[in-house]
Amino acid sequence: MAAYNIVGKGVPRVDGPDKASGKAIYTVDVSLPGMLYGKILRSPYAHARIISIDTSMAEKLPGVKGIVTGRDLRDVRYAFVDTPHYPADEQPLAVDKVRYIGDEVAAVAAESEAVAEKALALIKVEYEIIPAVFSAIEAMRDDAPLVHDEQLEGTSAWEEWGVTKRKNITASSYAANNVSGRTFVQYGDVDAGFEEADHIREDTFELKATAHCPMEPHAVVASYDAVQDKLHVWLSTMGIFLKRFFLSKTLNIPASKIRVHHTYVGGAFGGKIDLFPYEFCAAYLTIKTGQPVKIELDREEVFMTTRQRHPMNITVRTGIKKDGIITAQDIKVIADNGAYRGSGPVVIFLCHGFSFPVYNVPNYRYEGFSVYTNNPIRGPQRGHGAPQIRFSIDSHIDLIARDLGMDPLEIMLKNARKQGDVIPNGDVLNSCGLTECIKGAAAAIDWKNKRRQFQASPASTGRFRRGVGISICSMFSGAMYYPFASAAIIKMHDDGSATLFTGAQDIGQGSYTTLSQVLAEELGIGMEDVHVVAGDTELCPIDLGSFLSGTALVTGSAVKLAAADAKRQIMESAAELLGVDNIGELDAFNKKVFQRQSPDNYVTYQQAIQASVLRKGGNPIIGTGSYKGYEKTDRYPSLSKGKGLFTGAYGFAAQTAEVEVDTWTGKVKLLRACTFHDCGYPLNETIVRGQIHGCSSMGQGQALSEEIYLEEGQLFNASFLEYRLPISTDTPELVDGIVISQEPSGPFGAKEVGEGSVAGMLAAVANAVHDAVGVRIKSMPITPEKVLRALNNPT
């Protein structure tokens, strides 16, 4: 491996001083002169027709400046998934009916939050309550009420990007039985594979909805400049260009007339990518009133009306040989996407996408359904499908290992995919350190000595019993989704330092720091010489956005190419000054260009840039670079058939957990969690470890305590007191191992690290509980009630 000066080092975050001093500006901190405050009126019913809306009383309230209802927006539709097959089904405000408790009905802008709230109370809405459905399995029955009975035309927001228009899709062809999406993938000969097996096992698992819990609540400030005809927007998001695209489509104004300004993002975890009604309404109301409008959601609204992780029922059936080689697998997934499609068809596609890169299964069938219900809307959440599918598959593998009397580690190692494997959709695993991850995580938890130790020892009758478990997982590094690519611009300054212009958004994952390191390393300057301008659609070139874990690989590659471009121009100018004909004889480092043979013959970047300005037509040296979401394809994959290339590189991880179960109370304490993540190459070691800690902590919460409680669509625990994410005193020792596999397409070998290792925690904990007390919990989270019930009724 090449020795680097800046990448790979744990250099301090460039946003550290801003954030530690309290000076960092988030969307909630933005305040403009004459700003109005917006509030949203929401449905108190899970499913109801809107008979009438009367806003006349609210309009008369002093201080109210603007009101909008669904009747003003009858034709506005949008969605995270918007394809000919899956036409957009969301509207900013409900028109004919409301579909979940919290569904947006009207929005008010007023002089103060208090007046806006008073106005909401004065809006009279007459509803006719209709039957509702709250579970995906019930919703699929023939007699279930239809959540979406409207006829939608099969158009797509991506038509101008070459997606074919397909009209006349009738409602029955896609929304029958409330099915909002289906993915079906099959390869090999599944029946023959099961026949070949010595042992066949089937298990069904259940996962509840969970919340993202970014510490910054969702917020927006929108300000329309009528003179310039420009809409200025500040919002808490993971992808500024995607938000601009959505706003442009829904407001029907050109993208170039909208500017998303930079703010820091106080956590996102997947929950700040969709366009939300409050964002549209703020934009609509600023255009209507001519005054800036700010809308901040309160914590209850964030829990209820932004997005949640999909609850799922997953059945896995596996055929396996006596020696532990998998011969066939059949997976069925049912995901409840709530009242609107959200990312339903994506998550059922991704459950396949995060299943098949892990084990080499020769005969495989996968079927996933996403289903409408009258529950809150579900969307992407860190790992997006990976926690659900990895929990199910690896709990199941652990059970198979028990059936066969084998160590699950052995089954994992025997079936794990390896570097060079071509997986069935055609993606090539050019880097895959999965085996090293498994071995590392197992050694770190002392697998050999700790597994089954407590059942075998006299301590097995004691109150507290310990056990260990393991799970493995995989995650994409970017994919083809709008805007399909990232670009970077590097502007050189007179003094030889550089400013990076990137559309990437630092949502806490440290992208401004790692991208600066890539720039500094490639260009041969120091970190102190890099300045970052980011997250602004006007100043920065397009960026894929900080989701799909593509920032390191995709945006990182664009930045590296831009730095190489700037460096080449500096060298060309320097070559003239040095009297060298071939720039191949030159090298550049530490803001100097020198002759490789005689390093004393050098010019500084400052001199080279000045020479370029004076002699090359005034060129001050601007480097540019761009990189696609996936360099080998110009198509996005088929969500329904799983065909096409998915991602340029898969990140891998293995996670082990040691738990202590209190057999009197059923409480599970996580003692230690070890994660070994194959991130290709750690651009910043400290940041990579920080991502692993964050993923592990989120996985811990989802395994042991986090669950959205819904009763007939009503959320009962919309606060941090009742929705329990890990706090400092219940976080165990987190061991963070980095596996280097050098991804050839990644900048300096880097790929995904920010999402994958949420996923392995769930089965690692469930398997550890089984190891400790001999009971299997097949539903997430593993609450004391479930453990006690299982201990009292051993199967």
- For residue 247, what are its two tokens? 């706003």
Kindly state whether residue 1 participates in binding another protein, applying the rule CB under 8 A: no
Per-residue contact string for residues 454-493; x = within reach of another protein by CB under 8 A: ----------------------------------------
Q: Which of 4, 9, 19, 32 binds another protein (CB under 8 A)?
A: 19
The values of phi and psi at residue 660, to 5°, are: -125, 125
Residues in Cβ contact with 376 at an 8 Å cutoff, skipping those fewer than 6 apart? 100, 101, 102, 209, 304, 305, 307, 308, 338, 339, 708, 710, 713, 715
Tokens 């006690």 map to which residue? 788
300 annotated active-site: no
Applying CB under 8 A, the span of 525-533, 535-543, 552-560, 722-730 interacting with another protein comes to 722-730
Kindly state whether residue 551 participates in binding another protein, applying the rule CB under 8 A: no
Between 216 and 394, name the residue whose CB sits nearer to another protein.
Answer: 216
Distance CA 320, CA 359 (A): 12
Q: What distances in angstroms separate CA 191 from CA 104, 332, 366, one per listed residue?
A: 48, 16, 13
Kindly state whether residue 720 participates in binding another protein, applying the rule CB under 8 A: yes
Applying CB under 8 A, the span of 11-19, 183-191, 331-339, 709-717 interacting with another protein comes to 11-19
Distance CA 378, CA 274 (A): 10
Between 452 and 667, name the residue whose CB sits nearer to another protein.
Answer: 667
- For residue 661, what are its two tokens? 């179960």
3-state secondary structure of 497: coil
Closest distance to another protein from the beta carbon of 736 (Å): 8
Kindly state whether residue 698 participates in binding another protein, applying the rule CB under 8 A: yes
Closest distance to another protein from the beta carbon of 218 (Å): 12
Closest distance to another protein from the beta carbon of 455 (Å): 30
Residue of 260, 194, 275, 206 whose CA lies nearest to 230: 260
Residue of 318, 29, 30, 345 whose CA lies nearest to 182: 345
Closest distance to another protein from the beta carbon of 29 (Å): 4
Kindly state whether residue 16 participates in binding another protein, applying the rule CB under 8 A: yes
Q: Which of 177, 455, 595, 731 binds another protein (CB under 8 A)?
A: 731
Kindly state whether residue 20 participates in binding another protein, applying the rule CB under 8 A: yes
Q: Which of 127, 245, 264, 481 binds another protein (CB under 8 A)?
A: 264
Kindly state whether residue 267 participates in binding another protein, applying the rule CB under 8 A: yes
β partners of residue 368: 183, 333
Closest distance to another protein from the beta carbon of 448 (Å): 26
Kindly state whether residue 781 participates in binding another protein, applying the rule CB under 8 A: no
Q: Which segments within 162-257 are labelled E, that is strand? A: 179-187, 199-207, 219-225, 230-235
Between 142 and 528, name the residue whose CB sits nearer to another protein.
Answer: 528
Q: Which of 226, 227, 456, 721 binds another protein (CB under 8 A)?
A: 721
Applying CB under 8 A, the span of 42-50, 263-271, 359-367, 575-583 interacting with another protein comes to 263-271
3-state secondary structure of 89: coil
Kindly state whether residue 13 participates in binding another protein, applying the rule CB under 8 A: yes
Kindly state whether residue 28 participates in binding another protein, applying the rule CB under 8 A: yes
Which of 90, 712, 755, 785 does the annotation list as catalytic?
A: 755
Kindly state whether residue 728 participates in binding another protein, applying the rule CB under 8 A: yes
Q: Which of 690, 747, 749, 774 binds another protein (CB under 8 A)?
A: 690
Q: Which of 93, 213, 574, 657 binds another protein (CB under 8 A)?
A: 213
CB 367 within 8 A of CB 140: no
Kindly state whether residue 669 participates in binding another protein, applying the rule CB under 8 A: no
> What DSSP string runs through 342-369?
TTHHHHHHHHHHTTTTTB--SEEEEEEE
Applying CB under 8 A, the span of 85-93, 170-178, 501-509, 617-625 interacting with another protein comes to 501-509
Between 203 and 216, name the residue whose CB sits nearer to another protein.
Answer: 216
Closest distance to another protein from the beta carbon of 460 (Å): 29
Kindly state whether residue 719 participates in binding another protein, applying the rule CB under 8 A: yes
The values of phi and psi at residue 542, to 5°, are: -55, 155
Kindly state whether residue 734 participates in binding another protein, applying the rule CB under 8 A: yes
CB 534 within 8 A of CB 540: yes
CB 123 within 8 A of CB 106: yes
Distance CA 406, CA 416 (A): 16
Kindly state whether residue 706 participates in binding another protein, applying the rule CB under 8 A: no
> What DSSP string runs through 424-464?
TTS-B-SS--HHHHHHHHHHHTTHHHHTTHHHHSGGGGSSE
Residue 369's identity, in one-letter code, is F
β partners of residue 487: 626
Binding region for another protein (CB under 8 A): 10, 12-13, 15-26, 28-29, 31, 212-217, 264-269, 298-299, 507-510, 686-687, 689-690, 693-694, 696-698, 719-721, 725-729, 731, 734
Give catalytic residues, as residue numbers.
755
